Amino acid sequence: MEYNLNLEENSLREENNNETSYKNPIWVFGYGSLCWNPGFEYQQSVTGYVKGFSRRFWQGNTTHRGTDAKPGRVATLIEDKEGITWGKAFLIAAEDKAALPYLSTRECQLGGYRTYSINFHPRTLPSTSNNTGKNALLYVAIPENRHWLGAAPLPDIARQILECHGPSGSNAEYLLRLADFMREEVPEALDEHLFSLERLVRIFAADMKICLKTLIGEKPKDESRDAKPESSRIS
């Protein structure tokens, strides 16, 4: 699958993976672990969405939620003309010199993602008048990368997620915290792929008498400068 990298409103515009500083504050849009575990300092965050893409657990991962022997599955975006993907955008201060190098290592070097820019639509901040949203960096794994796994039957993906674990924790934590983020932040949004996987993981865990609470552990602390304690409901 080739991404149409031309400069249409909803397309991805590739950026230099190694760009580490910008003259102005810059938005980074997260739609996977960045939603609940950004791991970098930011000035503010806002829930929002991107158009023209859907989220899929089609990216393999051996450095955070899996191993070389048993790769896990993490989120990426695929082109979908009718798609809307909700996530969270983080504003990084222009003088911040740590966040982008951190993200480049975490996402690109370790995860096989590439850096793009896209228009995102904040839910609460006033979008620009012509409703094109705000420009943001985001990290997307495309099929040509070395970790790509691609589509598979949902039960197979769910079993893989339930079985895998890596240096950052269980693959199940990754899935369930993202589902939790969506329920808490965007209860009205439907993400059939995400919630079907969550349902299957919960069913398989019950069948195998796996305690998900133990598998998931404590939620990472928020790095925002005005961190508010967040409820982390995992049952």
Question: Please, what sign has the CA dihedral across residues 212, 180, 37, 110?
Answer: positive
Selected catalytic residue, list 2, 8, 19, 107? 107
- Between 69 and 95, CB nearer to ligand GSH: 69
Picking from 210, 204, 215, 207, the residue whose alpha carbon sits closest to that of residue 157 is: 204
Count of all residues that appear for the chain in the document: 235
Report in angstroms how near the CB of residue 29 gets to ligand GSH at its nearest.
Answer: 7
- Between 108 and 210, CB nearer to ligand GSH: 108
- Between 170 and 200, CB nearer to ligand GSH: 170
Enter the tokens of residue 72.
Answer: 């896990």
Enter the tokens of residue 64.
Answer: 């955070």
- Between 62 and 158, CB nearer to ligand GSH: 62
Distance CA 77, CA 29 (A): 12
Interacting residue ranges for ligand GSH, rule: CB under 6 A: 30-34, 37, 61, 64-65, 74-75, 106-107, 110-111, 113, 138-139, 168, 174
Distance CA 189, CA 84 (A): 9
Q: Is the CB of residue 118 less than 8 Å from the CB of residue 20?
A: no
In eight-state DSSP terms, residue 64 is: S
Report in angstroms how near the CB of residue 21 gets to ligand GSH at its nearest.
Answer: 20
Report in angstroms how near the CB of residue 206 gets to ligand GSH at its nearest.
Answer: 24
Distance CA 140, CA 42 (A): 20
* Position closest to ligand GSH via CB: 111
Report in angstroms how near the CB of residue 61 gets to ligand GSH at its nearest.
Answer: 5
Report in angstroms how near the CB of residue 207 gets to ligand GSH at its nearest.
Answer: 25
- Between 39 and 206, CB nearer to ligand GSH: 39
Active site residue 107: yes
Distance CA 174, CA 32 (A): 8
In eight-state DSSP terms, residue 123 is: S
Catalytic residues: 107
